[in-house]
Structure 1
Amino acid sequence: MEIKHADWRNFLARWSEEWADAHGHVDELSPDDAAARRGRWLGADPATEADIAAMEDRLGRAIPPSYREFLRVSDGWRHAGAFVWKLAGSREAHWHDDAMGLGEDFDEFWGEEDNPEEVRAQVGLWSRALQLDVESDITFVLLDPEDVGPDGEWAVRVWASWRAADPERYPSFAAFMIAMHQEFHAHAPRRNGEDGPAFDNGTTRAQDAAVARARTAALSGRYEEAAALLAEAQKYGRPYAHELLNQISQLDGPRGRGVETPHPDNPRFLSEQLPLKAADLLDSGRPTEDWHYSDPAVFPDTARAAADIQRAVREGTYRYRPGGAFGEAVHEAREQARWGDTDAAWQVLRAAIPSWEPLGPGHIAPVGLLADPLLAPVLTAERRLELLRTPRGGESGPAPAPAGDRNPDGLSWLVLPGALRPWQSSVGDYRMILVEGVAPDELPALLGSSPSTQLSPPLRQWDVTRHHRPGQRVFSSYDDRALLSVGRAGPGWSFAFEQDPSARFDTARFVSPAPDASVGGGRAIVIWHERREGLPVFHVSAAERGTPTYAFTMRGGALEATAGAVPAELAPPTLGFDAPDADGQAAAAARALDAIARLHGVTVPRLALTEGRLRTFESLSWSRPPGPGETYTTISIGR
C-alpha cells in the first residue's frame, strides 16, 4: 500500500471511522477520545501553508514531503497505532536534542567497527532527530534528517524501551502511518454481539478476501503468491493469516523455522502443532520442565495426550498419523524410511500429496511430517519446496519439477570429503558389514553382543553412544564391539554401519564378523576404512554360508595381509592402491567400493546415515581376546 497526495484525506478518514466503530463503549473513553468518536475523526484541522512555513522557520529546515502532505490534511493525529496516543502537528514537532540522555550509550553500541553500515548510520540519532511523539507508552517516533531517500523522504525510527531492540525503521512518514494503521487493526477490540459492534469494515473484508485467495493459491501450489498476500494480511491481524504463513515458513526454509505456540482450540493441536512444539523443545536442548502442556491444571482435556506426545518425541517413537489416502501413504513411506530408503519414502509421499486434505481453514500443508522422527529427514529443503508447489486439498495446478534423489549410486561417495559429516570437509572413518538374504531386524541375532540383543528405536547418529552406553566409564583396547546402524542395502541385502569407530584396525587382532553374519546361507562382506595418522587403511573380508572366502588389507599403499581368492575386480594392484600419496590411495578405495557395489548390487543410504534416524544395536567384538603374554590397555574414568 502507498499513500499518494490525493489519498491522505481518504486514508485518514477511513482510519478514523474504523477506530470509532471499534470503540463502542463511550464511557471507556477519555473526553477527547469520546469527542473523536462522535466526530469520527482522529485528526485535527488542516495546517495552513503559514503554519507549515512557521514550523520550518522554527526548525531551520524544510520538512519531508509525506509529513508535509499529512499536515495539510490534519495538523496532528490521535492513536497512531497501539502505543502512540498523540502524534505531533506543526506546533508540537521539535528536535529531540537527546533530551533523555540516551545518546551516549546508544552511540557507543551503534558505533562499534564490526557493526553493519546500517547500524552505524544510527550514531547521533538522538541528537539530530525530529521528535513526533507527544503522548505515548514510552515510545519515541523520530524523523531522521540524515537518513534521506532519493525522493527526499526522511526515515522514521520508532523505539520503545520495553521492546529491548534497536529502533524500527520506516523509509518515510507515510510508510510509518501505514504501519500504524496496520498495528491499530492488529490490536483493535474484537467486540461482537451484546458487548458491542463487530469489527467489520472495508479494510477487514479486503484483507479477509486476500487470506481466502492466499489459501486457494497455496493449495494450488502457488505458495510465493500466497506468502505475499498473507504477509500483508498478517500485519492487520486477520484470522488465519499468521497460521497459514507459519506453515509456509516451516516448509520454505530451515527445518524447525516458524514453530508457533499451540492452542488447544485449533483442530491441529494434537495432530501437528503439539508434536512440532515437542520436537522444537527436544532440538533446542531446553529442559523438559518447559513443557507445560501436560499440566492438567492448565490443560485438563489434553494433558495426558500431551505427555504421551512429548515422551514419544523424546524417545524417537512418535508417529505422524493423518487420515485418508495420504495417511496410508505416510505409513508406507515410514516403512521405507525405517530401513534407510529415504528416496523410496519420498516417492511414496510425492505420489500421495495431491490426495492430502486439510483439517480446517487454517491448514494448507501436512507440516506434521516435520515432527515424525523417520519422515522429517526425508523432507529435504528441495522436497519441502516440491511439497509446497504440489496442488493438494482439492485444488488444481501444474505439477512441479520433481526434486532429485539424495542417495547416490554405488559406495564410492563414502570416501568423499564431508560425505559422512556434511558440516565438515574431512573424510570420515567407518566400518560396515553387508549381508545377503537377511532382513535388517535379523542382524542382532547374528551379530549381537549377547543373545538378547535388540534393535533400539530410531536414533540420530549423535544419540547412539548415549543410548547404548549411558555413563560408560571403562574403556578397553580389546573391547571392540561396534554400535551399528542398520537398514536395507539393496535388493536382498542389509547393512550394519558404524561411523567413526572408537577402535582402530589392528591386523593381528581383527576377527571378521563376516562368517557369523553369513551363517544363514548368504554372503557377507566387511569393509573397514580409516585415514588416521596419515596412513590410510582399507580392509575387505568376505564369507559365504559361514565360511571365509577372501580378505585383504591395505595400509599406506602397501598390502599388509591377504587371504583366499580375491576377485579380479578387487585386486589391489588393479585398483591402484600402490599410489604413493593418500589421495591416490583414497581414489583406489573409491574404485574398490564401486566394484563391490557392481559385483553385488549393494549400496548404503547417505541421507539416512548423515541426517536421519536408524535403528541400532551393539555387535559382538570385531577383535579377538588377548592371548597369553599379550598386554592391553584399560582406561577408567572416575566419577
Structure 2
Amino acid sequence: MTHTTPFDWRPFLVRWSGEWSDSLPDDEARSEEDEAARRARWLGFPPASEERIAAMEERLGRRMPPSYREFLKVSDGWQHAGGFVWLLAGTADAHWHNDELGLADMFEEYLDDDAGPDERRDVDIWRRGLQLDVESDITYVLMDPEDVDEDGEWAVYTWASWRAAAPERYANFVEFMRGMHQEFHNLRARPGEGEPEFVNDTTREQDALVQQARLEVLRGNWEWAGHALDEAKEYGRPRATGLGDQIRRLLGQTYMVYYGGVVTDPRYAPELLPALVAEHAAHSKDDSTLMFHLRGAGDDVVSSAYTTLEQVRDGTYRYTAAGPFGEAVERARELARWGDTDEAWRTLMDALPLWQPLGPDHLVPLGWVADPVLGPLLTPERGRELLSTPRGGEEGDAPNPTAGLDPHDLAWLADPDPHEQRTAYRFVLIEEVNPEDVPGRLAEGNEAALGDPVTPDEARNRFLRGKTEFSSYDDKALMAVGRAGTRWSFAFDGTPAHIDSQRFVSPAAAASEGSRAVVVWSGLRTRLGKPFFHLSVAQDGAEQYAFTYADGQVHRTGEVPRALDPERFFGSRRMERSEENTEAERSLLQAVTAEFGVRLPRHAITNGRLHTFTTRSWTRPPVEGEAYAVVSISGEATH
C-alpha cells in the first residue's frame, strides 16, 4: 500500500485568506465576522486540539479521514469555502446528514433499473454522508464514509439544486478545498466596477503556467499543456479556455467548446469562427443562439459569423491560410475532393511545421475543420498527430505519422457496415481517365455535370428532391466520383436497387471508348432478393468478357481470365449462407484488385464528401409486351 505525503495546510490557507482579503473593496459593507477576517487576513478559526478532535470522533462514532483531521489541527472550520459555502464545519458542527430533507428518495426516482454503483452512490450519500456545510446558498457538502481510498481518505460530494446537475465528487477533502479555492478565484477573476484588481501570487503563477503551456503546445507537448490549461481554466484565468478549447476541438471533443473570448477577436476570427459556426450548424437550427457565444463581438465579426454559417450550410465554405501552409491546403483539398484523403492529410502534415499562428492565443490551424472537403479528414488520431507536430517556429520531436484510413484494395467492401446500410453496391472503374471526365462516359446532357462534393446522404436527398415519378424500367445511378489508384478513376453507387438480370445493360462498353473499363455490381449480402454478383470488362468500346452469378447459376460471355473465373468463387454452391456470400465476395474483390491494380477510398466514400452525377439507366427500355410501372408521388400508377 502506498501513502501520499500529508498536505501542508497552513501556507495554503494563509494564501487563500490573504487573496480573499485583498479582493474586497474598501468601502463595501460586510458583516462583523467578515470584517474581522479581512483585518486578520484569516478565514479560519483557532486550531482544534487532539482532544477536541477525539471527542468529535467519539460523538460521530468514526475516525475522521487523515486530510480532514490535519485540516482541523490548523483551523477548526472555515469561512467562505468557494462562492456558495459561507461556513464549513469544524469539530462542533459536523454531523451525519441522515437524509433529513428526503433527498435520497428524490434522487432514487431518477434511477433506472440497471443503475450502476455511481448512480446508486448519488442516492446513498444522503443517508450515510457526514454533512460539513453549516451556512450556504442551498449548497450541500458531504463526506462519504463508504467511498474510501487506500489512504483512508473519504470522498467529498457537493450538490446544489440550482445547478441542476448530479452531485460533484472530489477524491478527498484536500481536493475539495482546492476546488473551492479555484471556485473563489474563478468568481473573482473578472472584477466588477469599483472592485480592486484581482492579482496575486496564485494568478501570476497560473498566468505563467498558461504561457508555458502555450509554448509547449506549439512544441508538440500538448498533453501536459492540456492539463495545465484545464487547471488554469478552473482558476478562471482568461486565456486558458480559448487555448484549451483549440486542443479539445482537434481531439473531437466538441461539447461546450466555444473558444472563450478569443473567437470574438478579429485577429483570430478567420480560424476559430468557422469551427464554432460549423458545430452550431450541425446541431442547431435556432441561429439566434449563435450570438450567445459571440457576446462582445464587433459588427464585423458578427457579420462574418453569419456569412460563414450560410456558407457552411450550403457547402460553399472554403478554408484558406497564408504562406506555404495555405498552398498545402489548396493541394490537399484537390486530393481530398477526388477521394485521396490519406495523401491529402500527409500534404497538410508535411507543411504544418511552416504554419504560423495569427497571434499569441492561437495554437493550431482550425478553420479547415469547417471546410466541407477538408473537414472529414479529421479523426481523433489525426488530431493528436497534428497537436504533436512542432509548428509556429518552435522546435520539438516530430510524431510518428498516423496510419492511413484507406486499405489499398477493394476487399473492404465485404466488411460489415457499422450501420448495416451497405448490403449492395456497384461501381465503374475507367483506366487512364481523369475523374472529372468520368460523367461524360456514363451520362448524357445536363446529367453529366458534376455536383459539388457532398456526403452520401446529402447526395441522395438532392437526387430525390423534386422527383415526382419513379419508373420500374428506369435505373439511373447516383454515383460518387474519384481516383481508384494511380491510373484509374471510379464512379461508385452504394445504394443500388436489386439487379434486373433480364434487362440489365452493363455500362462497361460505353465507358471504355479509347480506354478500359471494369463494372462490378455486388448484391451477395442484399436483403432485397437472392444473392447476385456481376463483373464485366470492356476495352475500346467493346465488351471483352463478363459473368453474372444469380439464382444459384453463373452466366458468362467471352473468355474470363482464370484469376476471375467465377467457378473458383461460386462453383456449384447456391450461396445460401451469409458467411459463404461474404467469403466469395471478399475473394472476388481481392482478385479484381490484383488483376487491375485498383482500389477504392473507403474513408472518402463512407465519411467524406465527393462529387456526384447521375448516369444513364443501367437497364434497357422495355420491349413490346413487357409490363412496367410508373409511380407518382401521389400514389397513382399506370401500367
1:627 Cα deviation from its structure 2 partner: 1.3
Distance 1:56 1:570, change over 3 A: closer
1:153 Cα deviation from its structure 2 partner: 2.7
Query: What fraction of aligned residue pairs are identical, expressed as a percent?
Result: 48
Aligned to 1:566: 560
Q: Does 1:436 align with 2:434?
A: no
Distance 1:577 1:210, change over 3 A: farther
Aligned to 2:443: 448
Distance 1:99 1:256, change over 3 A: closer
1:568 Cα deviation from its structure 2 partner: 4.2
Q: Which moved more, 1:369-378 or 1:320-329?
A: 369-378
Aligned to 1:133: 133
Q: What secondary structure is seen at the aligned counterpart in 2 of 1:377?
A: helix
Q: Which moved more, 1:601-610 or 1:533-542?
A: 533-542
Distance 1:261 1:566, change over 3 A: same
1:333 Cα deviation from its structure 2 partner: 0.5
1:262 and 1:274 in contact (8 A); partners too: no
Aligned to 2:348: 349
Q: Does 1:553 align with 2:563?
A: no
Aligned to 2:161: 161
Distance 1:579 1:268, change over 3 A: farther
Q: Separation in 2 of the partners of 1:516 and 1:293?
A: 56
Aligned to 1:509: 503
Deviations along 1:298-335, one digit per CA (max 9) or x if unpaired, are: 86323332222112211222222122211111111011
Aligned to 1:99: 100
1:267 and 1:360 in contact (8 A); partners too: no
Aligned to 1:627: 623
Aligned to 1:34: 35
Deviations along 1:336-395, one digit per CA (max 9) or x if unpaired, are: 001001111112112112112222222222233322221222223332222122111112
Q: What secondary structure is seen at the aligned counterpart in 1 of 2:548?
A: strand
Q: Separation in 2 of the partners of 1:576 and 1:255?
A: 47
Report 1:134-533 matches (<5 A). Answer: 134-191=134-191, 195=194, 197-252=196-251, 254=252, 256=254, 259-260=257-258, 263=261, 264-267=263-266, 269-284=268-283, 286-288=285-287, 290-292=289-291, 300-415=299-414, 417-418=415-416, 421-424=417-420, 428-448=423-443, 450-451=445-446, 453-470=448-465, 472=467, 474-501=469-496, 503-519=497-513, 521-531=514-524, 532=526
Q: Separation in 1 of the partners of 2:601 and 2:303?
A: 37
Q: What secondary structure is seen at the aligned counterpart in 2 of 1:431?
A: strand
2:242 and 2:259 in contact (8 A); partners too: no
Q: Which moved more, 1:72-81 or 1:291-300?
A: 291-300
Aligned to 1:74: 75
1:463 Cα deviation from its structure 2 partner: 1.6
1:257 Cα deviation from its structure 2 partner: 5.2
Deviations along 1:113-151, one digit per CA (max 9) or x if unpaired, are: 411113223444323332221222210111223333333
**Letter of the structure 1 residue corresponding to residue 257 of structure 2:** V
Distance 1:233 1:412, change over 3 A: same
2:447 and 2:615 in contact (8 A); partners too: no
Q: What secondary structure is seen at the aligned counterpart in 2 of 1:508?
A: coil
Q: Which moved more, 1:315-324 or 1:592-601?
A: 592-601
Distance 1:494 1:189, change over 3 A: closer
2:185 and 2:236 in contact (8 A); partners too: yes
Q: Separation in 1 of the partners of 2:490 and 2:398?
A: 35
Q: Does 1:119 align with 2:114?
A: no
1:586 Cα deviation from its structure 2 partner: 4.5
Distance 1:305 1:123, change over 3 A: closer
Distance 1:5 1:96, change over 3 A: same
1:427 Cα deviation from its structure 2 partner: 6.1
Q: Which among 607, 610, 624 is matched to residue 606 of structure 2?
A: 610
**Letter of the structure 2 residue corresponding to residue 518 of structure 1:** S
Q: Separation in 2 of the partners of 1:262 and 1:191?
A: 17
Distance 1:405 1:129, change over 3 A: closer
Deviations along 1:465-503, one digit per CA (max 9) or x if unpaired, are: 1112215454322121101001112234221100021x2
**Letter of the structure 2 residue corresponding to residue 363 of structure 1:** H
Q: Separation in 2 of the partners of 1:572 and 1:256?
A: 49
Q: Separation in 2 of the partners of 1:168 and 1:91?
A: 25
Q: What secondary structure is seen at the aligned counterpart in 2 of 1:490?
A: coil
Deviations along 1:239-260, one digit per CA (max 9) or x if unpaired, are: 32222222222223x4645632
Q: Separation in 2 of the partners of 1:18 and 1:544?
A: 82
Q: What secondary structure is seen at the aligned counterpart in 1 of 2:152?
A: coil
Distance 1:323 1:262, change over 3 A: farther
Q: What secondary structure is seen at the aligned counterpart in 1 of 2:377?
A: coil
**Letter of the structure 2 residue corresponding to residue 527 of structure 1:** V
Deviations along 1:47-94, one digit per CA (max 9) or x if unpaired, are: 344543443444344433322322222222221011112222333333
Q: Separation in 1 of the partners of 2:425 and 2:596?
A: 20
Q: Separation in 1 of the partners of 2:216 and 2:284?
A: 37
1:588 Cα deviation from its structure 2 partner: 4.2
Q: Separation in 1 of the partners of 2:194 and 2:622?
A: 85
1:268 Cα deviation from its structure 2 partner: 6.3
Unpaired segments ≥5 residues, structure 2:
none
Q: What secondary structure is seen at the aligned counterpart in 2 of 1:118?
A: helix
Distance 1:310 1:433, change over 3 A: same
1:221 and 1:390 in contact (8 A); partners too: yes
**Letter of the structure 1 residue corresponding to residue 203 of structure 2:** T
1:539 Cα deviation from its structure 2 partner: 1.1
2:140 and 2:158 in contact (8 A); partners too: yes
Distance 1:172 1:601, change over 3 A: closer
1:538 Cα deviation from its structure 2 partner: 1.4
2:122 and 2:167 in contact (8 A); partners too: no
1:541 and 1:551 in contact (8 A); partners too: yes
**Letter of the structure 1 residue corresponding to residue 548 of structure 2:** T
Distance 1:414 1:108, change over 3 A: closer
Q: Separation in 2 of the partners of 1:61 and 1:262?
A: 45
2:268 and 2:358 in contact (8 A); partners too: no
Q: With structure 2 as the length reference, what TM-score do the two structures score? A: 0.90
Unpaired segments ≥5 residues, structure 1:
none
Q: Separation in 2 of the partners of 1:8 and 1:225?
A: 26
Distance 1:255 1:477, change over 3 A: farther
Deviations along 1:566-614, one digit per CA (max 9) or x if unpaired, are: 3443332355554453545544444443443344332221110011111
1:439 Cα deviation from its structure 2 partner: 2.2
2:156 and 2:171 in contact (8 A); partners too: yes
Distance 1:541 1:606, change over 3 A: same
Q: Separation in 2 of the partners of 1:15 and 1:3?
A: 23
Q: Separation in 1 of the partners of 2:105 and 2:68?
A: 29
